[in-house]
Amino acid sequence: MKTLADLEAIRAKALENMGMRREDAGSARVVVGMATCGIAAGARPVMLAFVEELKRRGLEHVSVSQTGCAGMCRLEPMVDVMLPGQEKVTYVKVTPEMVGRIVAEHIVNGRPVEEYTIGAAQ
């Protein structure tokens, strides 16, 4: 950073990323388990993949946040997707490669990817 314009560009990028972390009534939510167990299992790249995929698709009505341990460490990384008027869906053993399909099928089209869910993992 050498100029005021550089600083303003950093500020604008940070504000853009913060917009995805804001929760509005009636908006969709993605919550990534980011406790020690989740991070060790690869939750950080999963969260970044959600942020990038949502930004790439221009889905501004979806917030991305993190939570602590859900107590099922063997299923990490875990992701909850909550759409208005629908029950929460929990995805398990999520990889960055799975994120595009979750966004396309569940968040955009409202159809959970059943084979990625906690029910299919048991």
Encode pLDDT of 60-83 as tens digits: 889 999 999 888 999 999 999 999
Length of the chain in residues, anyone?
A: 122
Overall average pLDDT of the 27-39 stretch: 94
Q: How confident is the model at residue 3 (pLDDT cuts 50, 70, 90)?
A: confident
Distance CA 14, CA 117 (A): 32
E-strand ranges in the chain read 28-33, 62-67, 79-82, 89-91
pTM of the model: 0.78
Per-residue pLDDT for 29 more than 90?
yes
**According to the model, what pLDDT value does residue 15 have?**
64
| Domain ranges for the chain | 4-121
**Is domain 4-121 annotated with CATH 3.30.300.130?**
no
